[in-house]
């Protein structure tokens, strides 16, 4: 049987509810040979997941999903196969995480002014196993308190851009995210382009060294999958894919929801080597 991979998985080190052990158990049930851990602005979940996978022979690739911004649009850049000990890379992640904590303080203040009292930073931070805290954690608390019914309602009513408790995030430019990943020896892939909708920017990203597009993603229409697949051919870059699993925090997807042929992982490794990079896992 041919090997399958899922290259977009979050853990409770960012805004998923899943532990590394749970992720590996689901990966095994789904018959995956290879997964990538791609938490938001942190790689704290990578080592524990490699550890959890050891006795099962599931390959775990080091990944990350960096929050970047351009033209007032949130642009997520996935990084893969970088050196998890590269100090400048780790330093930048720390800056991004510290900014996330500061942002949570500001959101808590805004909610307080709106009459939603007693949400503490400690409670928010207790929901993530790293400093990569985000709006989904606040949303979870608002649901738990009965302030809103669902996570989506929490975003619509309070947390989304334009809503009264919205606070922007410290973000780097996409080409800086690409550079950061390259400097750490990895490849950079534009996450879920059919959701992000920045088609007019992709040529520029490729010029900045973008290595691939996340073509295969749950609920993407065939026509849009084909469109991005064709773009990867046009630019001679990688096509990748994954489930964007978040455990209980995002119920419309799960580990293995998107399975891609392992050949695409091999192409990714070849690209790293071809660029003179070191393959880490």
Residues in touch with ligand AMP (CB under 6 A): 40, 134-136, 151-152, 155, 160, 169
Neighbour tally for 152: CB within 10 Å: 12
Kindly give the pairing relationship between strand 4-9 and strand 34-37.
parallel
Q: What tokens were used for 269?
A: 């490794």
Contact flag: residue 244 with Fe ion (CB under 5 A): yes
What does the per-residue mask of binding to Zn ion show for 11-50, with x meaning CB under 5 A? ----x-----------------------------------
* In the complex, least distance from residue 85 CB atom to ligand AMP, rounded to whole angstroms: 25
Which lies closer to Fe ion via its Cβ, residue 6 or residue 65?
65
Select the binding partner of residue 244 from ligand AMP, Fe ion, Zn ion, none (C-beta < 5 to 8 A, by kind).
Answer: Fe ion
Q: For residues 60-99, which are near Zn ion according to CB under 5 A?
A: none
Query: If contact means CB under 5 to 8 A according to the sort of partner, which of Zn ion, ligand AMP, Fe ion, none does residue 214 touch?
Result: none
Residue 15 or residue 211: which is nearer to Zn ion going by CB? 15
Task: Give me the residue label for tokens 């704290």.
Answer: 44
* Three-class DSSP category at 248: helix
Query: Three-state SS for 84?
Result: coil
DSSP per position, 16-30: ----HHHHHHHHHHT
Partner touching 160 among ligand AMP, Fe ion, Zn ion, none, CB below 5 to 8 Å by kind: ligand AMP
Query: Which residue's CB atom is positioned nearest to ligand AMP?
Result: 134
Calpha distance 101→127 (Å, rounded): 12
Chain position whose Cβ is nearest to Zn ion? 15
Query: Which member of 191, 201, 210, 264 binds Fe ion (CB under 5 A)?
Result: 191
Nearer to ligand AMP, 103 or 267 (CB): 103
Task: Give SS3 for 182.
Answer: helix
* Minimal distance, residue 18 CB to ligand AMP, in Å: 14
Task: Pick one of Fe ion, Zn ion, ligand AMP, none as the site partner of residue 169 (Cβ within 5 to 8 A by kind).
Answer: ligand AMP
- 152 binds, options ligand AMP, Fe ion, Zn ion, none, Cβ within 5 to 8 A by partner type: ligand AMP
Q: What's the rounded Cα separation, in Å, for the pair 209 and 26?
A: 34
Q: Of 155 and 254, which CB lies nearer to ligand AMP in the complex structure? A: 155
The binder of 135, among Fe ion, ligand AMP, Zn ion, none, by C-beta within 5 to 8 A per type, is ligand AMP
Q: What is the rounded CA–CA span in Å between residue 168 and residue 107?
A: 10
- CA pair distance 24, 243, nearest whole angstrom: 14
Whole-number Å distance between alpha carbons of 67 and 177: 8
On the 0-12 / 13-18 / 19+ scale of CB atoms within 10 A, 137 is buried
Per residue in 82-116, is it b (16+ CB within 10 Å) or e — as a string? bbbebeebeebbeebbebbeebbeebbebbeeeeb
Distance of alpha carbon 192 from alpha carbon 175, whole angstroms: 17
* Closer residue to Zn ion (CB): 8 or 271: 8
Please report how close the Cβ of residue 196 comes to ligand AMP at its closest, in angstroms.
11
What residues make contact with Zn ion under the rule CB under 5 A?
15
What residues make contact with Fe ion under the rule CB under 5 A?
65, 76, 191, 244
């Amino acid at each position: 049987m041919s090997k399958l991979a899922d290259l977009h998985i979050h853990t409770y080190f960012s805004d998923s509810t899943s532990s590394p052990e749970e992720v590996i158990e689901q990966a095994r049930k789904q018959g995956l040979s290879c997964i990538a851990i791609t938490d938001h602005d942190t790689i704290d979940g990578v080592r524990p997941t490699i550890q959890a996978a050891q006795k099962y022979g599931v390959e775990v690739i080091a990944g990350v999903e960096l929050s970047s911004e351009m033209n007032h649009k949130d642009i997520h850049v996935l990084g893969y196969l970088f050196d998890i000990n590269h100090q400048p890379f780790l330093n930048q992640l720390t800056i991004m995480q510290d900014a996330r904590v500061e942002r949570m303080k500001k959101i808590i203040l805004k909610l307080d002014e709106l009459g939603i009292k007693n949400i503490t930073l400690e409670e928010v931070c207790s929901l993530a196993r790293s400093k990569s805290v985000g709006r989904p954690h606040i949303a979870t608390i608002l649901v738990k308190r009965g302030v809103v019914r669902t996570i989506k309602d929490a975003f619509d009513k309070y947390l989304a851009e334009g809503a009264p408790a919205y606070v922007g995030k410290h973000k780097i430019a996409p080409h800086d995210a690409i550079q950061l990943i390259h400097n750490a020896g990895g490849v950079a892939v534009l996450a879920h382009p059919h959701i992000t909708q920045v088609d007019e920017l992709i040529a520029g990203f490729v010029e900045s060294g973008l290595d691939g597009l996340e073509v295969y993603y749950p609920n993407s229409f065939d026509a849009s999958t084909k469109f991005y697949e064709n773009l990867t051919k046009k630019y001679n870059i990688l096509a990748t894919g994954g489930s964007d699993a978040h455990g209980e925090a995002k119920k419309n997807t799960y580990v293995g929801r998107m399975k891609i042929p392992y050949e695409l992982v091999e192409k990714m490794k070849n690209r790293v080597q071809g660029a003179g990079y070191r393959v880490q896992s």
